[in-house]
Amino acid sequence: MSLKIAIQGIESSFHHLAVQQLFPDKNIELVPCTSFDKVAENISCMNVDLGVIAIENTIAGSILPNYQLIDSCNLKILEETFLTINMYLMALNGTTLHDIDEVHSHPVALQQCKQYLKRLQPHCKIIEGKDTASEARRIKENNLKGVAAIAGKQVAEKFGLEILGKNIQTIKENKTRFVVIGRETPLTTSKLNKATLKFQLDHNIGSLSNVLQLLSTFGINLTKIQSFPIEGKPWQYSFYVDVLFDNTTLFEEVTILLRKAVSQLRILGIYKQNLENAPSTLAQIPSYEKY
């Protein structure tokens, strides 16, 4: 039986590569979507088994609306993976850099190549489009002369486009963290040691520091903290945090105490930390698994 997985974008986009990296041995039926909202919608109405969405990138930072999407659609993070992202500039065969007057790509992909793109401006227009692969496909299908796309190497191979620039992302070690999202946490035998939590805090002195103190007292390592404005409550924020723990009982105890210290605590997912292909700096953070 195949596993139906929704992604934003089409075949050969980076989301597709992330699915292949996450499920190398599974028979996958890919469900391409035009937006992250559509991915979540497909999961909620049971059209697909799972979704895979980008959540942060080394250069572009967090894709904050995706945290909010997981929360508002009541979905759970089930797994994470890091994908190496190398960007290429591509166009129809026979095109040179001098012929290009438009570059199209996914907004996050364009952001990752900002420095390279500066060299092509002002004569070249930079245009935000759909996913990387769709933009490249459009050039091929419509025989668009003078138009280039930024995408992965696999996209140039798939659509028979010529590569005009290699590894054009600003920072060479460029990685995107993707998460698998679903309706509920599956039963798993592997040791779960990471969680993503969301909560709100009042504007009281020390409210955030109390939370951080609590986590540290219980030996829980905070690997990420992100704030996001609360809709309808101007200048008030929700906090999204990633934590690592080695003892599930202690983690459960700390969540009980957290519930008293914060409002609207939600556990967006408890999963296994995935250090395979993680950015080198992240791999240096002590992992409880090593002990």
Cβ atoms of 177 and 113 closer than 8 Å:
no
Q: Is 24 exposed, middle or buried (0-12, 13-18, 19+ CB in 10 A)?
A: exposed
Residue 116 or 237: which CB sits closer to ligand PRE?
A: 116
Q: What is the dihedral of CA 248, 249, 255, 260, to 10 degrees?
A: -170
- Looking at the Cβ atoms of 14 and 245, the one nearer to ligand PRE is 14
- Choose between 114 and 191: whose C-beta lies nearer to ligand PRE: 114
197: three-class secondary structure by DSSP = strand
Closest CA relative to residue 149, chosen from 98, 56, 96, 87: 87
The residues near 118 (Cβ < 8 Å, ≥ 6 apart) are none
* CB of residue 131 to ligand PRE, shortest distance in Å: 3
- Smallest distance from ligand PRE to CB 99, Å: 24
86 versus 263: smaller Cβ distance to ligand PRE = 86
Q: How far is the CB of 253 from ligand PRE (least distance, A)?
A: 36
Of the two residues 33 and 243, which places its CB atom closer to ligand PRE in the complex?
Answer: 33
List helix spans (H) across 113-171. Answer: 114-120, 132-141, 153-159
- Least CB distance to ligand PRE at residue 2 (A): 21
The tokens describing 278, both together, are 């993680």
> Looking at beta carbons only, is 211 or 278 nearer to ligand PRE?
278
- Give the C-alpha separation, 73 to 67, whole Å: 10
Cα–Cα distance measured from residue 232 to residue 219, given in angstroms and rounded to the nearest whole number:
35
| Residue 30 CB, nearest approach to ligand PRE (Å) | 12
Of 57 and 95, the one with the shorter C-beta distance to ligand PRE is 57
Backbone angles phi, psi at 29, to 5 degrees: -105, 110
Q: What is the contact surface with ligand PRE in residues (CB under 6 A)?
A: 9, 13-15, 54, 57, 85, 106, 108-109, 131-133, 176
Q: Smallest distance, Å, CB 59 to ligand PRE?
A: 8
Element (DSSP H or E) covering residue 147: strand 147-151
CB of 32 to ligand PRE, least distance (A): 11
Query: Which is closer to ligand PRE, CB of 57 or CB of 193?
Result: 57
CB of 236 to ligand PRE, least distance (A): 28
Six-digit token pair at 111? 């952001």
* Peptide bond just before 122 cis, omega within 30 deg: yes
Strand partners, 88: 151
